[in-house]
Chains A and B, each alone.
Chain A
Amino acid sequence: MISIQNLNKSFGETPVLQDISLDISPGERIVVIGPSGTGKSTLLRCLNFLDTPESGRITIGDLAVDVACASKADILGLRRRTGFVFQNYALFANKTARQNITEALVTVKGMSRADADARAETILRETGLEARADAYPASLSGGQQQRVGIGRAMALDAELMLFDEPTSALDPEWVGEVLDLMRKLAETHQTMLIVTHEMQFAREIADRILFMDGGRIVEEGPPTQLLDAPCDPRTKAFLRRVG
Chain B
Amino acid sequence: MRALDVDYMLELVPVLLGYVPLTLFMAVVGMVFALILAALMAVERVARIPVLDVFVRLFISFFRGTPLLVQLFLFYFGLPQMLSFLTTINGVTATIMGLTLHFSAYMAESIRAAILGVDRAQWEASLSTGMTQAQMMRRIILPQAARVAAPTLINYFIDMVKSTSLAFTLGVTELMGAAQKEAAGSFLYFEAFLVVAAIYWIMVEVLSWGQQWIETYLNKAHAR
**What residues of chain A have their CB less than 8 Å away from a CB belonging to chain B?**
48-50, 76, 79-80, 82-84, 86, 88, 90-96, 103-104, 107-108, 136-139, 152-153, 156
Alpha-carbon gap, A153 to B124, bound state (A): 13
Bound state CA distance, A211 and B106, in angstroms? 53
Docked CA distance A137–B126 (Å): 15
The answer to whether A139 and B129 have CB atoms under 8 Å apart is: no
B132, CB-defined interface residue at 8 Å: yes
Write out the residue numbers on chain B whose beta carbons fall within 8 Å of the beta carbon of A156.
Answer: 129-130
Give the Cβ gap from B63 to chain A, nearest Cβ, in Å. Answer: 30
Judged by a CB distance under 8 angstroms, whether B206 is at the interface is no
**With A50-B128, A103-B139 in contact, is A139–B224 under 8 Å at CB?**
yes
- Give A138 to B219 CA distance when docked, in angstroms: 11
Residue positions of B touching A, CB distance < 8 A: 119, 121-122, 124-132, 135, 139-140, 143-144, 147, 220-224
User: Which residue of A86, A94, A137 is within 8 Å of B140 (Cβ)?
Assistant: A94
- Chain B residue numbers with a CB within 8 Å of A49 are 127
- Tell me if A86 and B223 are in contact (CB < 8 A): no
The 5 closest A-B pairs by CB, nearest first: A104-B129, A84-B128, A80-B130, A90-B125, A90-B121
Q: Is the CB of A94 within 8 A of B221?
A: yes
A-B contact count (CB 8 A): 74
- Complex Cα–Cα for A84 and B127 (A): 10
Residues of A within 8 A of B144 (CB): 93-94
Q: In the complex, are the beta carbons of A136 and B121 less than 8 A apart?
A: no
Determine the residue in chain B with the shortest Cβ distance to A138.
B222
Q: Across the interface, do B223 and A139 meet the contact criterion of CB distance under 8 Å?
A: yes
B-chain residues with CB within 8 Å of residue A137 when the two chains form the complex: 221
On chain B, the residues within 8 Å of A80 by CB distance are 130
Query: Which chain A residue lies CB-closest to B128?
Result: A84
Q: A90-B121, A138-B224 are in contact. Are A108 and B135 (CB under 8 A)?
A: yes
Residues of A within 8 A of B139 (CB): 103, 107
A93 close to B122 (CB less than 8 A): yes
Contacts of B132 on A, CB cut-off 8 Å?
76
Can you report 18 residue pairs joining A to B where beta carbons are below 8 Å apart? A48-B128, A79-B129, A79-B130, A90-B121, A91-B125, A93-B119, A93-B144, A93-B221, A94-B140, A94-B221, A95-B221, A96-B221, A104-B130, A136-B221, A138-B221, A138-B223, A139-B224, A152-B129
B127 CB to closest chain A CB, in angstroms? 6
Q: Is the CB of B122 within 8 A of A90?
A: yes
In the docked arrangement, what's the CA distance between A79 and B133, Å? Answer: 13
Contact of B125 among A76, A92, A138, A139 (CB under 8 A): A92
Whole-angstrom distance from the CB of A21 to the nearest CB of chain B?
A: 23
Question: Across the interface, do B128 and A79 meet the contact criterion of CB distance under 8 Å?
Answer: yes
In contact, A94 and B143 (Cβ under 8 angstroms): yes
**A86–B122 CB distance below 8 A:** no
Give 5 A-B pairs besides A88-B121, A156-B129 with Cβ atoms closer than 8 angstroms. Answer: A83-B129, A86-B124, A96-B221, A108-B130, A139-B224
Shortest distance in angstroms between B42's beta carbon and chain A's nearest beta carbon?
17
A83 vs chain B, min Cβ distance (A): 8
Contact A108 B129 (CB under 8 A): yes
* Cα of A88 to Cα of B221 in the assembled complex, Å: 18
Q: Which residue of A lies closest to B133 (CB)?
A: A72
| Residues in B neighbouring A108, C-beta threshold 8 A | 129-131, 135
CB A195 to nearest CB in B, in angstroms, measures: 15
B224: which A residues are within 8 A, CB to CB?
138-139
List chain B residues, Cβ under 8 A from A50. 124, 127-128
- Tell me the complex Cα distance, A224–B66, Å: 73
Q: How far is the CB of A220 from chain B (nearest CB, A)?
A: 25
Nearest A residue to B140 via CB reads A92
Point out which of B121, B130, B143, B223 has the most chain A C-beta atoms below 10 A from its C-beta.
Answer: B130
Cβ-defined contact, A86 with B130, below 8 A: no
Chain B neighbourhood of A139, CB < 8 A = 223-224
